[in-house]
């Protein structure tokens, strides 16, 4: 359904990405921000699913500045390699590359953003800093608590797993306390990565509910 694309950031850097368009003309677009595993099959599938819902979906390859076209699976060995990309994350660069994706689809109506893991944190940061967005959704973003003093400029919805070993529930409560205007959902028994069916931590009931909530949120705000 989708195709590989090239995007250009404000500093002139050219990065790759994946774009999926719906069969019928779209009235809105959604930027999809990857986990630490690159624009892999899971992220491309998210784009394809969003296109099936009538959105233009685009996923910028935000690790291209480090390793072009990096993609990974979820074995322990692959996770260890992928983690090196976030040892010292360059947030401004990732936001520049996210803005390039926003700009690429702004002509197709309102733009939302959704991100997973690292991408959940990027999606939240984008909601607080980047122009051109109308709504933001973040899944299990571990750095969101560090950005929680920053108020989103657009309606924002967040999803966390109750049993996420990397995101204490105390962090989720801090986010709720600092950002009462943000919708925050916690899924009982769910672990980190519960929304990805390629991971051992996949939790179908939680993933299905979170997806339904995300789609309803975008339907309400991308019009």
159 as an active site residue: the answer is: no
47 as an active site residue: the answer is: no
Q: Out of 42, 56, 171, 192, which one is annotated catalytic? A: 192
pLDDT, position 108: 82
Q: At what angle do helices 91-105 and 118-129 cross, to 10 degrees?
A: 70
Q: Out of 21, 64, 103, 164, which one is annotated catalytic? A: 164
Q: Are strands 135-139 and 56-60 parallel, antiparallel or unpaired?
A: unpaired
Which domain, by its residues, includes 96? 2-221
Q: Out of 117, 159, 171, 203, which one is annotated catalytic? A: 117
Consecutive 10-residue runs of the chain (223 residues): their mean pLDDT? Answer: 94 98 91 98 97 96 96 94 91 98 94 98 98 98 98 98 97 98 98 96 98 98 95
Domain count, the chain: 1
Q: What is the C-alpha separation between 25 and 56, in angstroms, rounded? A: 9
Coil/strand/helix, residue 140: coil
pLDDT, position 26: 81
221 as an active site residue: the answer is: no
Q: What is the C-alpha separation between 122 and 95, in angstroms, rounded? A: 7
Question: What tokens appear for 57 in the block?
Answer: 């979906």
pLDDT, position 27: 84
The structure's pTM equals: 0.97
Cβ-based neighbour number of residue 223 at 10 Å? 10
CATH number at residue 69: 3.40.50.1820
């Amino acid at each position: 359904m989708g195709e590989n694309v090239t995007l250009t950031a404000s500093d002139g850097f050219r990065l790759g990405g994946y774009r999926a368009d719906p069969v019928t003309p779209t009235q809105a677009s959604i930027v999809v921000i990857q986990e630490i595993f690159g624009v892999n099959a899971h992220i491309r599938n998210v784009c394809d699913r969003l296109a099936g819902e009538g959105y233009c979906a685009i996923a910028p390859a935000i690790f291209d500045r480090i390793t072009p076209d990096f993609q990974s699976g979820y074995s322990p060995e692959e996770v260890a390699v992928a983690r090196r990309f976030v040892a010292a994350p360059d947030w401004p660069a990732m936001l520049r590359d996210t803005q390039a994706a926003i700009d690429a689809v702004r002509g197709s109506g309102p733009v939302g953003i959704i991100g997973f893991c690292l991408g959940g944190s990027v999606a939240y940061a984008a909601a607080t800093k980047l122009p051109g967005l109308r709504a933001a959704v973040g899944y299990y973003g571990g750095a969101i608590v560090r950005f929680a003093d920053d108020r989103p400029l657009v309606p924002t919805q967040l999803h966390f797993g109750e049993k996420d070993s990397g995101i204490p529930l105390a962090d989720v409560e801090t986010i709720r306390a600092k950002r009462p205007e943000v919708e925050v959902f916690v899924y009982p028994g769910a672990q980190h990565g519960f929304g990805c069916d390629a991971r051992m931590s996949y939790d179908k009931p939680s993933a299905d509910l979170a997806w339904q909530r995300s789609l309803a949120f975008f339907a309400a705000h991308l019009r």
